[in-house]
Amino acid sequence: MKPIFKLVGNTPLIRLQTASRRANATILGKCDFLNPGGSVKDRAAAHILLQAVKRGDIKSGDTIIEATAGNTGIALVLLANAMDIRSVIVMPETQAEAKKDALKNLGAELILTPACPLSDPRNFRNTAKRLARQNGWFLANQFHNTDNRNAHITTTAAEIIAYMESHHIAPNTLGFICAAGTGGTIGGCSIGLKTYDHTITIGLVDPDGASLYAYYTKGTLEATGTSFIEGIGQGMITPQLRDITIDYAYNVSDKTAMPYAYDAIGEGINVGMSSGINIAGAVLLARDMQQQGVKNPTVITVLCDTSDKYKDKMFNPDFLTKNCIRMPAWLSP
């Protein structure tokens, strides 16, 4: 295994002080922003690549292709570099120039597509699929390839179990919650933790405009509103989410989520927007567990990446005012 792969995962847990106080419980953040590519997606990218090599689907000198505008792209490009695998990233041309530059600078070949719906063959995901087929390239396929969620069964969930055991936390006092993009993190952690002990409580937190909250509370995929938080918000039961157990689901607006990200930054933990909604969800889950009679619950969530990529939203007073987001104290006029 190439050296950089050894730095993926095994991230520390940090006590989130404001959230813990609000929930009157122990809220811990898994510092996945410390992964070498800077996000939780390193875990999925590493496992997808290593398993593909193991199966003989890809080897050094080959090409991996993926449709992504975000963290998965960065993770795949860096880890593919380490394996002498060429990476091609397909994204809609409307994505921020900074994202395009970041991927190109690290060594990806970029293919830009017009911004169009999945029903259009020119859509970025359809384009990646077609190019993979035509050229014999390996399609990472993070939405469908269940090595994505397997990464979280074998690493994230396993690390949480090890922590729980070494800190003598009773499984029925432990909760885990996060939001879903592909669903790999929540899917894999739900399977891994429930298989270990079904009394561990699993929560899902959904932004406005996503359909999973309705699915897990009413059984129908429906969405209202919109969210500007990047990387999360799912409208389908992806293969990563198939047959998993979700005990509690919550819908959290951007307006509620963002202050939790600023609170973490105020504690010295540089997190991005999806971490804010994850922390908000952790507080809600800890309160519900206490309502169910659990004393001193410990709720773990994921700090997926840092704020650096989102400065045009997170630290832009005009954007925040327009979206009715309470500004962090240090930006207030």
Q: Is 41 in the site for ligand PMP (CB under 6 A)?
A: yes
Q: Is 207 in the site for ligand PMP (CB under 6 A)?
A: no
Q: Is 274 in the site for ligand PMP (CB under 6 A)?
A: yes
Measuring CA to CA, which residue among 162, 316, 159, 128 is closest to residue 228?
A: 316
Q: What is the number of other CB atoms lying within 10 angstroms of the CB of residue 56? A: 7
Is there a contact between 35 and 71 (Cβ–Cβ < 8 Å)?
Answer: no
In the region spanning residues 131 to 190, those forming contacts with ligand PMP, defined by CB under 6 A, are 180-185
Q: How far is the CB of 182 from ligand PMP (least distance, A)?
A: 3
Q: How far is the CB of 179 from ligand PMP (least distance, A)?
A: 6
Candidate list 64, 305, 313, 325; residue touching ligand PMP; CB under 6 A: 305
Q: How far is the CB of 104 from ligand PMP (least distance, A)?
A: 19
Can you say whether the dihedral through the CA atoms of 180, 181, 187, 193 is positive or negative? Answer: negative
- Beta strands 63-67 and 298-303 are unpaired
Q: How far is the CB of 224 from ligand PMP (least distance, A)?
A: 21
CA distances 201 to 135, 152, 197, 249, Å, are 45, 17, 9, 11
Is there a contact between 28 and 15 (Cβ–Cβ < 8 Å)?
Answer: yes
Site string for ligand PMP, 55-94 (x = CB under 6 A): ---------------xx-----------------------
∠ at Cα 3 (2, 6), nearest 5°?
Answer: 105
* Closest to ligand PMP by CB, 10 or 292: 10
Q: How far is the CB of 8 from ligand PMP (least distance, A)?
A: 14
* Closest to ligand PMP by CB, 173 or 256: 256
Q: What is the number of other CB atoms lying within 10 angstroms of the CB of residue 152? A: 31
Name the site residues for ligand PMP (rule: CB under 6 A).
39-41, 70-71, 180-185, 231-232, 272, 274, 304-305
